[in-house]
């Protein structure tokens, strides 16, 4: 790979799909446009997630206090 690097590179990397190249795969995709139902579901999920975090923290703190 070190000698004839350029030639090896050309032979090897041509098998990759364009989206597989590391620089392309790092590029952000556009934000998804969500319908009203999906948006509502995500807001409910957001509230659930925040409540769940609170419960987990409460549980951990309570467990720390137990012998």
Partner 1 sequence: MADIAGPLAGWRPTREDILRARDRARVLAARRRRRNLFVLALLVGPGILVMLGENDGPSMLSYAVTGATYGIGFFIPFIVLTFVLAFCVQEMTVRLAAATHRGHAQLILDRFGPFWGYFALADLMVGNLLTLITEFIAIRAGAAYFGVPGWLAVGTGVMVVLAALSLRRYMAWERSVMLVALANLLFIPVAVMAHPDWGRVGHALLTWQPLPGGPREAVLTLVLANIGATVTPWMLFFQQSATADKGLTRADVTQGRIDTALGAVLAAAAGVACVVASSLLHDHHAAPSGATGGADFATALRPFVGSTGAALFALAMVEAGLVAAVTIATSSAYALGEVSRRGRSLNLDFRQGALFYATAFVSVVVAAAVVLIPHAPLIAITITVNVIATMLMAPALLLLLFLVNDREIVGQLANTPLQNVINGTIVVAIAVVGAVYGIVTVFPGLLRL
CA dihedral over 32, 37, 40, 42, signed as positive or negative: negative
x/- mask, partner 1, residues 3-42, rule CB under 8 A, reads --xx-xxx-xxxxxx-xxxxx-xx-xxxxx-----x--xx
Contact assessment for residue 33 and residue 40, using Cβ atoms and an 8 Å cutoff = no
Distance in angstroms between the alpha carbons of the first and the last residue of the chain? 59
SS3 (DSSP) at 3? coil
As measured in angstroms, the least distance from the Cβ of 50 to partner 1 is 9
Residues that bind partner 1 (CB under 8 A): 1, 5-6, 8-10, 12-17, 19-23, 25-26, 28-32, 38, 41-42, 45-46, 48-49, 52-53, 55-56, 58-60, 63-64, 66
């Amino acid at each position: 790979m070190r000698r004839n690097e350029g030639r090896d590179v050309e032979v090897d990397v041509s098998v990759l799909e364009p989206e597989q190249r590391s620089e392309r795969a790092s590029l952000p995709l556009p934000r998804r446009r969500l319908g009203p139902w999906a948006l509502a579901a995500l807001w409910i999920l957001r509230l659930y997630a925040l409540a769940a975090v609170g419960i987990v923290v409460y549980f951990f703190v309570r467990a720390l206090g137990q012998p």
